[in-house]
Amino acid sequence: MLRTISNVLRLIGKELHSIRADPVMLILVVYCFTVAIYMVSNDASTDVRHVAIAVVDEDQSQLSRRLADAIRPPEFQPPVPIAANEVEAALNAGRFIFVLHVPPRFEADLVAGHQPELLLEVDATAMAQAGNGATDVQRVVAAEIANHLSGGAGGVEGPVDLVVRAWFNPNLETVWFGAVMQVMNNITMLTLILAGAALIREREHGTVEHLLVMPVTPSQIVLSKILANGLVIVVAAALCLTVVVHWALGVPIAGSMPLFLTGTALYTVTVASMGILLATFSTSMGQFGLLVIPVMVILNLLSGGMTPLESMPDWLRLTMQLLGPSPHFVGFAQGVLYRGAGLATVWPDLLAFTAQGAVFFSLSLMRFRGVLLRI
């Protein structure tokens, strides 16, 4: 037992030395957990900000002017008045995302008790802003009309008073969500790449034969590669959450950092085992890259982080939960980092991707032994 531990520790030291001696890989890790996290979270926002909007005012009434004045920054740019015959050309040219039509006699019909219609044309090629912005325009218009009808008394009392309380992200900041999700995606991506590349590097440099003449077993070789690369990712993720996410972006960490890092360590074992498994089907870094790309896309896009698992078809959701560790890791990480959940809450997800890790480790070890027999 002591010899096994000693061999694994020595092999881990060799792997860490190999990573340190690879400047490209080091730059990739640093970039993905610093610049990439900050830029994607802070700048690639789906919030409605400074959206171009035009108003076709065919009523020229006090209410129509109030509607135009109510649409203001920072959500929207100052509304641009245009004629009705200019709308199609403006939308085709991409000058505006929204065009609000106020028909003739709108205010008069509204005061008379009729139900006049407002038309909002939307350029839905900007899908995220179109959906969120249309809701914002509807909210602004409805509030202004209610205020106008009540004579400035603050609106008309409805039969139901709806009170909305947003938990865990009270200001609905997309940066809070995007930063943590980007960290989770990068953990998956880099663990998969680093672990697989470690094995491919041995084969391309011909150092696998050196390992075969050493008093080490295939399980020790595979375990050392998984633990060494997982250690790098866990340390990088801890620094990223503390320095970039918490300090630079101002995202609060609600839960226990030690619990999250423990789960992350187990998750990296699972994903690194997948990386080793994919590497056993490859003979070069190019082949490994072609295998990793589709697997990485599926793990990230269908993890439940970008879109809810409930919106997926039942067969796809069950398949991802059975075969993919990423949905369980997303559930675990969101529970700990967003909601401050403890082990009593997140243990099912923790157990799920740990069990999947045992399966992937066994498969990768079996495949690695087969590779060694062919050398």
pLDDT on residue 322:
95
What residue spans define the domains of the chain? Answer: 2-44+172-374, 53-149
Token pair, residue 121, equals 């044309």
How many C-beta neighbours within 10 Å does residue 13 have?
Answer: 12
| Dihedral sign computed on CA atoms, order 112, 115, 117, 118 | positive
Instruction: Quote the longest CA-to-CA distance of the chain.
Output: 94
Task: Give the model's pLDDT for residue 305.
Answer: 85
| Nearest of 97, 81, 306, 274 to residue 189 by alpha carbon | 274
The whole-number pLDDT of residue 366 equals 94
pLDDT in tens, 177-212: 889 999 999 999 999 999 999 999 888 877 777 777
Torsion angles phi and psi, residue 6, rounded to 5: -65, -45
**Distance of CA 114 to CAs 105, 109, 296, 327, Å?**
11, 5, 56, 51
CATH for 53-149 is 3.40.1710.10
The predicted structure's pLDDT at residue 375: 63
Residues 6+ apart with CB under 8 A from 284: 200, 204
Q: Is the dihedral of CA 158, 161, 167, 173 positive or negative?
A: positive
Cα(127)–Cα(104) distance, rounded to whole angstroms?
Answer: 30
Per-residue burial over 195-214, b if 16 or more Cβ lie within 10 Å, else e, is bbbbbbbbbeeeebeebeee
- At 45 the pLDDT is 67
The per-residue pLDDT for range 268-321, each reduced to its tens digit, is 999 999 999 999 999 899 999 999 999 999 999 999 888 888 889 999 999 999
Give the list of residues 6+ apart from residue 19 with CB closer than 8 angstroms, or none: 25, 26, 194, 198, 228, 229, 232
DSSP notation for 274-290: HHHHHHTT-SSHHHHHH
CB atoms closer than 10 angstroms to residue 293: 10
| Rounded CA separation 207/199 (Å) | 10
Q: For the residues of 301-363, what is the DSSP string, one character each?
A: HTSSSSS-GGGS-HHHHHHHHHH-SHHHHHHHHIIIIIT---HHHHHHHHHHHHHHHHHHHHH
pLDDT under 70: residue ranges of the chain = 44-46, 152-160, 373, 375
Sheet (strand 98-102) strand order: 80-81, 53-57, 98-102, 119-122
Q: pTM, whole model, 2 decimals? A: 0.84
